[in-house]
């Protein structure tokens, strides 16, 4: 390695000067994580994520013997990470790799069972702790205690998150690869058809919302309010009459169950239960749609899956036993992984983050009242350590208002500045072609290859089929209102809270992600084409253009 | 005698059934008594099958020489149904191979010179495969081989062997001597997942195991990165990639390597010449599929 020539530093745009925090940082290859955190992050969000990706992930990497170390940096308010393989003597690496596979195999073979019997009960226990925290009128001492306890519990739940993510992602990836190896003439996505049609929290919440839309349709008055009012007025208007109040009650119980979600999984933004506008927008969309039976659709999907599986098993009858045993092993693990993908997001990414936000926000109220900061939302512009210190010092006050002001200004300054996809020094060699690394790339996506055909955009195939429609560039869920049934959703990326949109769109195109990212998975569940990881769809495609999406080849063509 | 079964004395006659079928026929009923010390107790597990003999060759085709004659078709259908009963399966997959009188001789192996049809199912498909096997006997490729080996090209009358196909978990080609060094104290085993075609055809790099005969110790294991394997699929076989997690795994254990070595040693004693065998494991049982002399040894 040492005799290899060091590649030169990647140049940065003039508006994006980079100061290297640590010696050696300039020599690392920094990737802007478009899949998880493409938006700017506040300091509170960044340091929460950094702690998870650096400290917690380290622990999990050790548990699985994955020789990888991740570093996180907050360059000009954007989130960057660098993963560095921990290379050692070759014999040691081989021994590590063997242990790694042993651990992963054991974890893949017991994924759902471990989730149900061990991980989920523990996550629920943490959630119960937060449910029991009385944040109204809490004393400063008690709140500080809650905050410290919350940090510990968040760290532990994210440890569970990472512990389950590795075998989950790798099982799905290995299964898909095995399927293609065994059936050389397989169509793209055929393997994924064998993984869908199971109940999960995402499907469950979509069904509940659909049911709610049918309840709204039953009352012309409720329906009219939903159609004609802006989301902020809906609640007020509904509470004026009997049927409206009855509907609100149903609406609130939906929010209680599924409203601990947000649009982009960061602490700074309100969750649905706090601001249900995204839910109301989804309802407005749903009530315009014709009758359908989501339970029946899921059942049909499951029947299709079983039919396909029977065909596959027939094909495999004469295959060597070790091959069919491994196929069965990976099929089970991948089916469980696919279910778990939706489940864990509901319980950890959303529910845990929701409660964490409530505790931090309450600290914000407390610090704002004391005058440490101006408003409760300023708390997210402090680092977790600063919040802890300020809370501990109360009633003594350290004025943090100017720090917050600087950080808010910095955020504003860089908000219009697109973050370069990569920084630092490119690696001197491509990453080794390893099944584990390949699995991660399927989630994160690979850099797109520019198309040589004018008007054509190249990405990765995410879900099969070809369709034409009007493109709508949707940068956040708040903009989802402009989608009409049959439109093509063009987004930077999508997360679980976007899932209800998939019921009415004709196709999805994203800037980031791979064949295992949220957009691809959900598109396949809904049977619509998806092209993901184009790198620039939201920049190149304009609202209202007619585009053709080919989910089998991974191309998008602008027609007019 | 147009159709004989493996194990029948008539089937042992290479002039009638060809070298391949005759060897297998003999081994199908051979008792391994004198070599009990090697560790095989009963007989060899040769999958059941029958042979359309070379004597039938002249009467096999219709006058126009393109279709099988009706009596031959009936003969084949009856035999296939009987084989189905033996295999306890309605449509057993069979392997249809040529067995030439001059094939599997001690000087030229003929390996791969004649067509082989695998996983053939049903009476009609068997008849078609037999027909194609016979046609291939007169192909230019075979004639060229015969000329090169200094054998006459004008009398290639062949028999066709129809045998239950073993949907193998692992297949192996075993030499009872080291064919490269000539070391007669070594058994060399090439093994891969699935059917033996990927080893015989050379499309995959198989694992290589060396067993020392004198003390039955596995002295060397070369675990290859196995890229592909042959598997039976409806209508025939297919070459597919080996799933990544199995490609670098050893396909057999040391116990299985010794089991194969014992088989090769028993066959060497039985036949009286260094043996080149094809065998396969299915559900942990080892089947003998072919046995011929090693042809490349320096005299």
Cβ-based contacts under 8 A for chains A and B: 61
Helix (H, G, I), strand (E, B) or coil at B208: strand
- Quick one: average pLDDT of A101-106? 92
- Which residue ranges does chain B devote to CATH 3.30.470.20? 170-293
| Domain segments of chain A as ranges | 201-294, 445-558
Residues of chain B short of pLDDT 50, as ranges, are 35-36, 104-109, 299
Question: How many C-beta atoms surround the C-beta of residue B88 within 10 A?
Answer: 7
Compute the Cα dihedral for A6, A12, A17, A21 and give only its sign. Answer: negative
Write out the H or E segment, with its range, that includes residue B164: strand B158-164
pTM of the model: 0.82
**pLDDT reported for residue A282:** 86
- Quick one: average pLDDT of A506-522? 84
Side-by-side strand order, sheet with B275-282: B217-222, B207-212, B186-193, B170-175, B275-282, B285-293
**pLDDT reported for residue B82:** 94
The answer to whether the CB of A283 falls within 8 A of the CB of A213 is yes
The β-bridge partners of A78 are A75
- Left, alpha or beta for A17 (phi > 0: left; psi -120 to 50: alpha)? beta
**Sorting pLDDT into bands at 50, 70 and 90, what band is A516?**
confident
Q: Which residues contact A357 (CB under 8 A, 6 or more apart)?
A: A267, A271
| Pairing relationship of beta strands A456-458 and B158-164 according to DSSP bridges | unpaired
**pLDDT reported for residue B32:** 63
Helix (H, G, I), strand (E, B) or coil at B61: strand
DSSP A70-91: EEEEEETTEEEEEEEE----HH
**pLDDT reported for residue A429:** 65
Q: How far lies B222's CA from each of A418, B130, B192, B211, in Å?
A: 53, 38, 12, 12
Q: Do A322 and B246 touch (CB under 8 A)?
A: yes
Please tell me which of the candidates A178, A183, A321 has its beta carbon nearest to residue B169. A321
Half-sphere exposure of B264 (CA within 13 A, CB side): 34
**pLDDT reported for residue B137:** 67
Pick from A172-181, A374-383, B66-75: least confident: B66-75
Which tens digits make up the pLDDT trace of A448-498? 555 667 778 888 888 889 999 999 998 877 788 888 889 999 998 887 778
Stronger pLDDT, A98 or A399, i.e. the higher one: A399
Please tell me which of the candidates B168, B232, B240 has its beta carbon nearest to residue A182. B240
The β-bridge partners of B94 are B120, B164
Instruction: Tell me which residues of chain B have a C-beta less than 8 Å from any C-beta of chain A.
Output: 93, 119, 167-170, 193-194, 229, 231-234, 238, 240-246, 249, 283
Gap between the Cα atoms of A23 and A20, Å rounded: 7
Q: Given 2.30.30.90, 3.20.20.70, 3.30.70.20, 3.30.1490.20, which CATH number is that of B3-164?
A: 3.30.1490.20
> What residues of A are in contact with residue B93 (Cβ under 8 Å)?
318
Gap between the Cα atoms of A93 and A97, Å rounded: 6
- Quick one: average pLDDT of A127-140? 93
| Residue carrying structure tokens 């999990």 | A60
Q: Given 2.30.29.30, 3.30.470.20, 3.90.1150.10, 3.20.20.70, which CATH number is that of B170-293?
A: 3.30.470.20
Q: Which residues contact A64 (CB under 8 A, 6 or more apart)?
A: A100, A103, A104, A107, A166
Q: Is the model's pLDDT at A509 over the cut of 80?
A: yes
**pLDDT reported for residue A494:** 81
What CATH number was assigned to the domain covering residues A445-558?
3.50.30.10
**pLDDT reported for residue B55:** 67
Pick the residue from chain A with its C-alpha nearest to B283.
A321
- Which residue ranges does chain B devote to CATH 3.30.1490.20? 3-164
Report the candidate in A181, A315, A174, A317 with the shortest Cα–Cα distance to residue B241. Answer: A181
Distant-in-sequence contacts of B10-15, Cβ < 8 A, 24+ apart? B11/B51, B14/B101, B15/B54, B15/B101
**Nearest chain B Cα distance for residue A194, angstroms:** 18
| Residue carrying structure tokens 């340091």 | A47
Which tens digits make up the pLDDT trace of A322-371? 999 999 999 999 999 999 998 999 999 999 999 999 999 999 999 999 99
**pLDDT reported for residue B248:** 87
> What residues of B are in contact with residue A324 (Cβ under 8 Å)?
none
- Quick one: average pLDDT of A189-212? 89
Report the candidate in A557, A528, A383 with the shortest Cα–Cα distance to residue A455. Answer: A557
Q: Do A323 and B246 touch (CB under 8 A)?
A: yes
Q: Do A318 and B242 touch (CB under 8 A)?
A: no
Burial B143-182 (b: 16+ CB within 10 A, else e): eebbeeeebeeeebbbbbbbbbbbbbbbbbbbbbbbbeee
**pLDDT reported for residue A2:** 40
**Nearest chain B Cα distance for residue A54, angstroms:** 29
Q: How far lies B193's CA from each of A11, A326, B127, in Å?
A: 51, 13, 29
The answer to whether the CB of B244 falls within 8 A of the CB of B226 is no
Question: How many C-beta atoms surround the C-beta of residue B222 within 10 A?
Answer: 12
Pick from A26-40, A206-220, A351-365: least confident: A26-40
Counting DSSP H helices and E strands in chain A, the numbers are 20, 12
Side-by-side strand order, sheet with B3-5: B3-5, B49-52, B158-164, B94-100, B116-120
**pLDDT reported for residue B127:** 92
Q: Is the model's pLDDT at A6 over the cut of 80?
A: no
Cβ neighbourhood burial of A304 (10 Å; 0-12, 13-18, 19+): middle
> What residues of A are in contact with residue B240 (Cβ under 8 Å)?
181-184
Which residue blocks in A316-421 are alpha helix, DSSP H? 321-344, 353-370, 384-393, 401-415
**pLDDT reported for residue B77:** 93
- Quick one: average pLDDT of A266-289? 89
**pLDDT reported for residue A442:** 66
């Amino acid at each position: 390695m040492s005799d290899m020539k060091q590649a030169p530093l990647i140049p940065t745009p003039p508006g994006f000067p980079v100061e290297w925090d640590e010696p050696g940082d300039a020599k690392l290859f920094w990737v802007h994580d478009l899949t998880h955190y493409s938006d700017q992050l506040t300091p509170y969000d960044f340091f929460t994520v950094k702690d998870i990706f650096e400290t917690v992930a380290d622990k999990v990497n050790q548990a699985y013997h994955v020789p990888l170390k991740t570093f996180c940096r907050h360059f000009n308010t954007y989130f960057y990470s660098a993963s560095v393989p921990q290379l050692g003597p070759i014999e040691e690496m081989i021994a590590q790799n063997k242990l790694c596979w042993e651990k992963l195999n054991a974890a893949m073979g017991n994924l759902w069972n471990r989730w149900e019997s061990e991980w989920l009960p523990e996550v629920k226990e943490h959630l119960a702790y937060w449910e029991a925290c009385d944040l109204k009128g809490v004393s400063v001492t008690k709140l500080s205690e809650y905050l410290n306890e919350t940090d510990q519990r968040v760290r532990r739940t994210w440890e569970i998150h990472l512990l389950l993510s590795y075998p989950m992602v790798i099982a799905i990836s290995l299964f898909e690869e095995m399927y293609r190896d065994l059936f050389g003439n397989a169509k793209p996505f055929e393997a994924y058809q064998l993984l869908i049609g199971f109940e999960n929290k995402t499907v469950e919440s979509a069904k509940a919302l659909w049911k709610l839309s049918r309840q709204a349709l039953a009352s012309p008055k409720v329906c009219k309010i939903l159609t004609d009012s802006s989301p902020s007025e809906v609640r007020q208007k509904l509470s004026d009459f009997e049927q409206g109040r009855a509907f609100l009650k149903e609406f609130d119980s939906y929010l209680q169950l599924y409203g601990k979600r947000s649009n982009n999984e960061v602490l700074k933004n309100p969750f649905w239960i706090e601001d249900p506008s995204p839910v109301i927008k989804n309802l407005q969309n749903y009530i315009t749609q014709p009758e359908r039976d989501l339970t029946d659709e899921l059942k049909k999907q499951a029947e299709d899956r079983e039919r396909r599986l029977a065909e596959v098993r027939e094909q495999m009858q004469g295959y060597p036993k070790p091959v069919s045993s491994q196929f069965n092993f990976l099929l089970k693990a991948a089916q469980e992984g696919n279910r778990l993908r939706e489940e864990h997001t509901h319980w950890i990414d959303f529910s845990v983050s929701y409660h964490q936000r409530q505790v931090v926000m309450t600290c914000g109220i407390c610090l704002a009242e004391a005058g440490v900061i101006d408003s409760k939302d300023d708390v997210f512009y402090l680092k977790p350590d600063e919040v802890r210190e300020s809370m501990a010092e109360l009633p003594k006050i350290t004025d943090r208002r100017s720090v917050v002001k600087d950080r808010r200004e910095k955020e504003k300054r860089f908000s219009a500045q697109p973050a370069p996809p990569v920084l630092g020094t490119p690696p001197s060699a491509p990453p080794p072609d390893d099944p584990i690394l390949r699995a991660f790339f399927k989630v994160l996506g690979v850099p797109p290859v520019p198309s040589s055909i004018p008007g054509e955009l190249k990405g990765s195939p995410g879900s099969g089929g070809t369709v034409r429609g009007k493109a709508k560039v949707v940068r956040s869920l708040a903009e989802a209102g402009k989608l009409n049934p049959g439109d093509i959703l063009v987004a930077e990326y999508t997360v679980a809270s976007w899932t209800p949109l998939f019921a009415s769109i004709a196709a999805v195109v994203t800037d980031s992600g791979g064949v295992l990212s949220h957009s691809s998975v959900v598109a396949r569940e809904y049977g619509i084409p998806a092209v993901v990881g184009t790198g620039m769809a939201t920049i190149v495609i304009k609202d209202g253009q007619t585009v053709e999406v080919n989910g089998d080849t991974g191309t998008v063509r602008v027609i007019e | 005698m147009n159709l004989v079964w493996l194990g029948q004395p008539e089937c042992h006659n290479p002039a009638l059934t060809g070298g391949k079928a005759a060897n297998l026929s003999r081994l199908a009923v051979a008792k391994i008594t004198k070599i009990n010390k090697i560790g095989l107790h009963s007989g060899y597990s040769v999958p059941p099958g029958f042979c359309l003999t070379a004597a039938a060759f002249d009467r096999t085709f219709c006058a126009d020489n393109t279709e099988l004659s009706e009596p031959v078709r009936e003969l084949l259908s009856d035999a296939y149904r009987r084989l189905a009963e033996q295999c306890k399966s309605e449509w057993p997959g069979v392997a249809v191979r040529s067995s030439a009188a001059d094939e599997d001789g001690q000087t030229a192996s003929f390996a791969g010179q004649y067509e082989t049809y695998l996983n053939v199912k049903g009476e009609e498909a068997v008849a078609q495969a037999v027909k194609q096997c016979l046609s291939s006997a007169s192909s230019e490729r075979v004639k060229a081989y015969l000329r090169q080996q200094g054998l006459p090209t004008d009398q290639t009358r062949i028999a066709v062997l129809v045998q239950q196909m073993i949907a193998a978990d692992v297949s192996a080609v075993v030499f009872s001597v080291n064919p490269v060094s000539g070391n007669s104290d070594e058994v060399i085993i090439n093994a891969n997942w699935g059917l033996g075609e990927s080893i015989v055809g050379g499309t995959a790099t198989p694992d290589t195991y060396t067993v020392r005969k004198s003390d039955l110790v596995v002295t060397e294991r070369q675990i290859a990165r196995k890229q592909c394997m042959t598997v039976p699929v409806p209508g025939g076989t297919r070459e597919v990639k080996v799933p990544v997690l199995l490609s670098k795994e050893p396909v057999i254990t040391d116990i299985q390597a010794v089991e194969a070595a014992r088989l090769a040693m028993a066959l060497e004693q039985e036949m009286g010449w260094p043996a080149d065998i094809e065998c396969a494991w299915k559900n942990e049982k080892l089947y003998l599929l072919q046995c011929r002399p090693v042809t490349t040894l320096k005299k």
